[in-house]
Amino acid sequence: MTIDPNYHSFDPNDPYNIPGWTAVNQLPGPGHPTANPPAPFPADITIQTVTATYMVESGQPLPGSVLIQADRRYRDTATGDLVVPNARRLKVVNGALSVDLPASDDPDLDEPFLYSVHEVVPGGRKFMISVPHAAIGPLKLHDLVVEADYKEIQPPRIYALSPRLGGY
């Protein structure tokens, strides 16, 4: 079975169809410009590297992507910086995934939070994870799964001013 990693559908029930996605987070690749690097998180928040491997039984890597989003806003208590959750689409490259995420139980945050994860790969699942502050990384994505009700990932917000929307 071959899966086209550039597949796109306009079906509203298809997880690849995320309204506004390409306007906000274009993935680098043929026909797409290099994505802008994200703004840094507040300096005192612990960042953990989370990895995952996706392959079939024959050892062939699976193409696809993983959607990740914090389930709520969180605030750095030392600086007062507020971090607003926004959906992130992470491309699975050669069956591998690696992402840096703020620890969801960092003592410098106002309170712990979880991440919603939606695997857009064959046999993918939807689940919640907690990224521990005190763990030594890199951490394995599937070892971080917690028993919690899955919170749907919202489409990314577009933070651009537009004359049509009353901006400049």
pLDDT in tens, the chain (168 residues): 444 545 555 555 555 554 444 444 444 444 444 445 555 677 788 889 999 999 988 889 988 899 999 999 998 888 888 888 888 889 998 999 999 999 999 999 999 999 999 999 888 899 999 999 998 878 999 999 999 999 998 776 555 555 555 444
Q: Tell me the sheet residues that pair with 99.
A: 50
* Residue 139 three-state SS: strand
The Cα–Cα gap between 153 and 127 comes to: 11
> Measured in whole angstroms, how far is the alpha carbon of residue 140 from the centre of its chain?
15
Bridge-based pairing of strands 47-53 and 139-140 is: parallel
DSSP count for the chain of H helices, then E strands? 1, 10
Report pLDDT for 162: 52
Report pLDDT for 44: 83
Report pLDDT for 25: 47
The Cα–Cα gap between 80 and 42 comes to: 9
Report pLDDT for 20: 46
